[in-house]
Amino acid sequence: MKHDNRTDEELMYAIQSGDTHAFRLLFERYRTPLYHFLVRMIGHPETAADLTQDVFAKLLRNAASFHHRSRFSTWIYAIARNAALDAIRRAGHRRHPSLDQSTSEGGAPLVERIAASGPQPDRDAVARRLREALTQAIGQLPPEQREVFVLREYQGVSFQEIADVLQVPLGTVKSRMRYALTALRQTLKEYEDYARSLP
């Protein structure tokens, strides 16, 4: 299939005119980034997959409301963010497993795998535990800090665009990012100390 160089905004114009091919192109461009954003926001892959489909359904239903005053990416991430917050409110419980909860049948609780005593593990094991600890730490951030961190660090969204998505001042976005980074550094300090000790 020939590569389509139209911008997101041009594809939205086409969708507003009934072009289903343009919708498929936007779906392919944004399906994976939106899924990763949603799974990091809510912590449940299956729910994130369902929400990703819901976001694109909303895109189709509300295509006429996109007035091209902002970037398409700002608009679609705002829809995804609202979907995530609605899901979090509906769930009414923690989005990530407890530190005392086993992550697999018969497996050790996460707290034991993150802070196990005994011989120093190899680098791969530490890296694996660090990823698990980071996922847990991100899940513990307040939602307003978590969404800024995920959009910036995982999705590569600029601070200004995050401000547009969240409809808050730029300074507020940067402040939330600073608080998130401070909290994550504190939580993951043991891994930083270990990295410094490596030969």
pLDDT in tens, 24-63: 999 999 999 999 999 999 888 999 999 999 999 999 999 9
Q: What is the pLDDT of residue 149?
A: 94
pLDDT of residue 70: 83
Q: Give me the amino acid identity at 163.
A: A
Task: Report how far residue 165's alpha carbon sits from residue 149's, in angstroms, rounded to the nearest whole number.
Answer: 13
- The number of beta carbons lying within 10 Å of the beta carbon of residue 25 is 19
User: Is residue 181 helix, strand or coil?
Assistant: helix
Rounded Cα distance, 127 and 93, in Å: 29
Q: What number is the average pLDDT over the span 121-142?
A: 78
Residue 150, pLDDT above cutoff 60: yes
Q: Region 187-194: what's the mean pLDDT?
A: 71
Q: What is the pTM of this model?
A: 0.71
With 80 as the cut, is the pLDDT of residue 11 above it?
yes
Mean pLDDT for 157-163 is 94
Q: What is the mean pLDDT of the segment spanning 71-85?
A: 94
Backbone phi, then psi, for 122, in 5-degree steps? -75, 175
Average pLDDT over residues 126-140: 81
Lowest mean pLDDT among 14-18, 99-103, 177-181: 99-103
**68-71 own/partner pairs: CB under 8 Å, 24+ apart:** 68/9, 68/12, 68/13, 70/164, 71/8, 71/9, 71/161, 71/164
pLDDT 10s digits, 80-107: 999 999 988 887 644 444 333 444 444 4
Q: Does residue 109 or residue 66 have the better pLDDT? A: 66
Name the residue with higher pLDDT: 122 or 20: 20
Average pLDDT value over all residues in the chain = 82
* In the predicted structure, residue 2 carries a pLDDT above the cut 90: no
More confident call, 94 vs 15: 15
Q: Which pLDDT belongs to residue 35?
A: 95
What is the set of domains in the chain, with CATH numbers? 1-95 (1.10.1740.10), 98-199 (1.10.10.10)
Top mean-pLDDT range of 98-102, 138-142, 159-163: 159-163
Q: Spell out the alpha helix ranges (H) of the chain.
A: 8-16, 20-42, 45-61, 72-91, 110-114, 123-140, 143-149, 159-166, 170-187, 189-197
